[in-house]
Amino acid sequence: MKFLTILLLCATVLCHAQWNTNGTTAYYTGGNVAIGRNTTYVDARLHVKAPTVSAWGFMSEASSNSRVIGVGHDGTAGYISVSDTDGGSGFSPLNLRTSNLVRLGIATNGNVGIGTQSPDYLLQVYNTNSPNNPTLAIGKANVNTAGQSTLWFFAGNGTAANGFKIEYNKTATTDRLAFFGGSGTEMLTLKNAGSFVGIGASEPRAKLDLGFGGGPTLVLNPGTTTNVNFTGLYHNDLIMGSWIDNNQANAFMSIGYKASPDRKFHIGTASSETFSSATFVPHFTVSAGGNVGIGTPNPDKTLTVNGIIHTKEVLVDLNVPGPDYVFEKDYDLLPLEALEAYINENKHLPEVPSAKEMEASGLNLKEMNLLLLKKVEELTLHVIELKKENEQQSKEIQKLKRR
């Protein structure tokens, strides 16, 4: 009997020889451990199988209260949960840490924080190392390969038909970020090559390329009835803009330059859509002083036209009286003999500029028309005078014939 007792004691010691203690710590060095089953999965060091669907496979409880964290699987999905063994309301957030810093935090209200354990929104990103520069990356940086990343935005139970999409697409020929509407229409495009931006243009060709969608291409609205809200284009100190007056009765467009007021507004044609290499030909110019040029970039009068004017009618306002004073009794009409002598000497009519003067200075149409009208009126007076002389001579001839 004593031998049998010693044998059983030895067998018990041998069976439990792989469990050891180190102070208050018990440890096992004999291999994998399975709880609730007789083998471990894929050589796992510890494998726990829950006895029922609702039971947790593993549970850890805090030393200061009854709050626990559990790991389990109900046969459909896996769970990690923070709860309270007493069934109270003292739930705790769930934090994932590395280097003793919170990297992912899930608050009790469901908010998720990356870099923070107290997120204020459903998803909040906080850069612990640089709080003022939170970082969120889709895809992997420094990898020069083709690919596509997409981010969708929905409201409530939205669908692709009424949501918005941001898509980054990189291929051998494309490298761009695009914003799409719910109908799949590409609304805004950012193109890496050239740093081009397209609105309604999927392949922008300039710093800002506005595509044509059947309606107004660009509407600038300052959003107020006062003209202090100036809408315009700026380049260095050069400004071209528009505004509406206080009464919303007049629209204005202007051009200005801080350093020099002598700037011009041009409308013309370009030889190419590549603006940096295009040759620009101005056809319409407004100078800083208000002179308008058509066909010339340097208007020297209120309206300067370098070309032919085709019009139905021209109305000229007069600031001087018409030459009707020629018919006044005291008008000093130049006798024909004196007129003939002037013509023989100067080769043009009195007061009329010579051919050389016209070629050098051009013609003032208003002055010339008034001058020509004056000469016609003077010529009319000479004709009337000659008619009177002819009639007098005819009478005298008739008297001579009756003798």
Q: Indicate whether 152 pLDDT > 50.
A: yes
What's the order of all strands across the beta sheet hosting 164-170?
Answer: 147-153, 164-170, 175-180, 186-191, 196-199, 208-210
Span 309-340, pLDDT tens digits: 999 998 888 777 788 899 999 999 999 999 99
What is d(CA 152, CA 180) in angstroms, rounded to the nearest whole number? 9
Report how far apart the first and last C-alpha atoms of the chain are (Å, whole number): 203
| Mean pLDDT score, 348-358 | 93
Domain membership of residue 218 (yes or no) is: no
Same domain for 393 and 341: yes
Domain membership of residue 254 (yes or no) is: yes
pLDDT of residue 12: 47
More confident residue, 191 or 402: 191
Domain membership of residue 380 (yes or no) is: yes
Where is 28: in which H helix or E strand?
strand 25-28
Q: Indicate whether 1 pLDDT > 60.
A: no
Same domain for 182 and 237: no
Domain membership of residue 298 (yes or no) is: yes
What is d(CA 386, CA 393) in angstroms, rounded to the nearest whole number? 10
What is d(CA 393, CA 56) in angstroms, rounded to the nearest whole number? 144
DSSP letter assigned to residue 335: P
Span 24-64, pLDDT tens digits: 888 888 788 888 888 888 788 888 888 887 767 888 888 88
Span 184-225, pLDDT tens digits: 888 899 998 888 999 888 888 888 888 766 555 666 655 554
Domain membership of residue 111 (yes or no) is: no
What is d(CA 343, CA 332) in angstroms, rounded to the nearest whole number? 18
* pLDDT, averaged across the chain: 80
Domain membership of residue 37 (yes or no) is: no
pLDDT of residue 121: 92
pLDDT band at 261 (very low <50, low <70, confident <90, very high): low
Tell me how far apart the 2 most distant CA atoms of the chain are, in Å: 203
In this structure, which amino acid lies at residue 93? Answer: P
| Rounded to 5°, angle at Cα 121 from 118 and 126 | 55
In this structure, which amino acid lies at residue 354? Answer: S
Domain membership of residue 346 (yes or no) is: yes
Q: What Å distances lie between residue 83 and 49, 86, 91, 124, CA to CA? A: 20, 9, 5, 23
| Mean pLDDT score, 375-401 | 91
Q: How many separate domains does the chain show?
A: 3
Same domain for 296 and 328: no
For residue 387, the enclosing domain spans 323-402
Domain membership of residue 79 (yes or no) is: no
Under 8 Å between Cβ of 285 and 292: yes
What is d(CA 294, CA 297) in angstroms, rounded to the nearest whole number? 8
